[in-house]
Amino acid sequence: MRCISIQGTARYESIIAKRGRKLALIARFLKCVGFFSLIGNNSSLEHALQGNCVNVLIAYHSDYSNTKKMADAIAAGMKVSCSTANITLRTALETAMDDLVSADVIVFGTPVHMGSMAWQLKQLVDRAGKLWMEGALEGKVGAVFATGGGFGGGGGGVETTMVSLHSNFLEHGMMVVGFPKSLPGYADGGLQWGAYGRSGDHQGMPATVSEAALAAARSYGAHVAEMAVKLID
Ligand SMILES: Cc1cc2nc3c(=O)[nH]c(=O)nc-3n(C[C@H](O)[C@H](O)[C@H](O)COP(=O)(O)O)c2cc1C
């Protein structure tokens, strides 16, 4: 299934939406006549017929809503490049193993806490260790984002936080999508590993992630969905 590039116009978005509605109608008809029960529990076929580009899970932790804003922006960007993507947002603590297994794309987001990820996300990473034993996440697409208070452009530990999330995805045999410098917004909220928002001001006091960082997160989301469709097809 093909998705439009992030430079796609509203015209393409409406064509894709129409195609999605048509496929959804076909899927609903097949459901009514019992087609899916006849061929067994084939949820991926049902999913494909419904015109969904990809199943996305965005799992994040956020105490003060900055990381949540980034999660919402990434989801919004994904919808732009892949209007039929099926996106689930969950906090790290409420994320179940089934959420990870049923996703084609897993996006992890965290605030930087003392130079690394928040314990709530680490707890999810560790819980998913049993999926590593089963190889259940192999071949899925991973992407990451983080927020930090600052000081400095990258903040205190944001890069290492993102890299450690990449390491975890790679350990599972997943494919990782970074944030290429050619994407819109890279200068405001991109690091090669993923999307970044700085929530502290220049005095080191809490502020909020900037609109520019949220725009970069939308751009990253659009890119991740587009890449995921290419990689998974
Ligand atoms: C316990 C704790 C430790 C933190 N450690 C760091 C740090 O090491 N580096 C940094 O840049 N920001 C640090 N911060 C700031 C947060 O990363 C930043 O405010 C983040 O945007 C909060 O995200 P949230 O609003 O989603 O909770 C820390 C915040 C807390 C509460």
pTM of the complete model beyond 0.75: yes
Residue 194 CA, ligand 1 centroid: distance in Å: 17
pLDDT at 17: 46
User: Mutate which of 60, 74, 112, 199 to test ligand 1's pocket (most atoms within 8 Å of Cβ)?
Assistant: 112
Ligand 1 atom, smallest distance to 60 CA? 26
Q: Could you report the per-residue pLDDT of 28-61, keeping only the tens digit for each?
A: 455 445 554 554 444 444 444 445 579 999 999 9
Share of the chain above pLDDT 90, in %: 70
Residue 110 CA, ligand 1 centroid: distance in Å: 9
- Give the count of beta carbons closer than 10 Å to the beta carbon of residue 157: 17
**How long is the chain?**
233
Any alpha helices (H) in 50-157, and if so which ranges? 66-81, 97-101, 119-127, 129-134
pLDDT at 86: 96
Query: Which of residues 208 and 23 earns the better pLDDT score?
Result: 208
Angstrom distance (rounded) from CA 79 to CA 134 = 31
The protein residue whose alpha carbon is closest to atom 1 in ligand 1 is: 113
Which tokens hold the place of 126?
A: 């560790």
Query: How far, in whole angstroms, is CA 62 from its chain's centroid?
Result: 15
Instruction: Set out the domains of the chain in order of their start, with CATH numbers.
Output: 53-232 (3.40.50.360)
Which tokens hold the place of 9?
A: 């116009």
Beta strands 190-191 and 86-91 are unpaired
The answer to whether the CB of 216 falls within 8 A of the CB of 189 is yes
Average per-residue pLDDT for the chain = 84
Residue 154 CA, ligand 1 centroid: distance in Å: 13
pLDDT at 8: 42
pLDDT at 34: 55
Dihedral, CA of residue 120, residue 125, residue 127 and residue 129, to nearest 10: -170
pLDDT range class, residue 13, cuts 50, 70, 90: very low
Q: Could you report the per-residue pLDDT of 169-182, keeping only the tens digit for each?
A: 999 999 999 999 99
Decide if pLDDT at 231 tops 60: yes
pLDDT range class, residue 206, cuts 50, 70, 90: confident
User: Mutate which of 64, 89, 110, 113 to test ligand 1's pocket (most atoms within 8 Å of Cβ)?
Assistant: 113
Angstrom distance (rounded) from CA 189 to CA 219 = 10
Pocket of ligand 1 (CB under 6 A): 62-68, 111-115, 147-150, 155-157, 199, 206
- Give the count of beta carbons closer than 10 Å to the beta carbon of residue 10: 7
Q: Could you report the per-residue pLDDT of 76-130, keeping only the tens digit for each?
A: 999 999 999 999 999 999 999 999 999 999 999 999 999 999 999 999 999 999 9
pLDDT range class, residue 152, cuts 50, 70, 90: low
